Amino acid sequence: MTTPRVIDDPTLFLPAPSEQISLLVLNLSERRLYAYRGDRQVATYPVAVGRDDWETPTGEFTVFQRQQHPAWEHPLTGAIVPPGPDNPLGARWIGFWTDGINSIGFHGTPHEHLIGQAVSHGCVRMRNADVIALYDRIRLGTRVIVHP
Q: Taking the mean position of all CA atoms in its chain, how far away is CA 71?
A: 15
Question: Which of 111, 113, 123, 147 is an active site residue?
Answer: 123
Reply yes or no on whether 113 is catalytic: no
Question: Which of 69, 107, 111, 113 is an active site residue?
Answer: 107
Domains of the chain are: 21-147 (2.40.440.10)
Choose between 7 and 124: higher pLDDT. Answer: 124
pLDDT score at 18: 55
Reply yes or no on whether 123 is catalytic: yes
Beta pairing, strands 124-125 & 92-98: unpaired
Q: Give the pLDDT confidence of 5-54 residue by residue, as tens digits.
A: 444 544 444 555 558 999 999 999 999 999 999 999 999 999 999 999 99
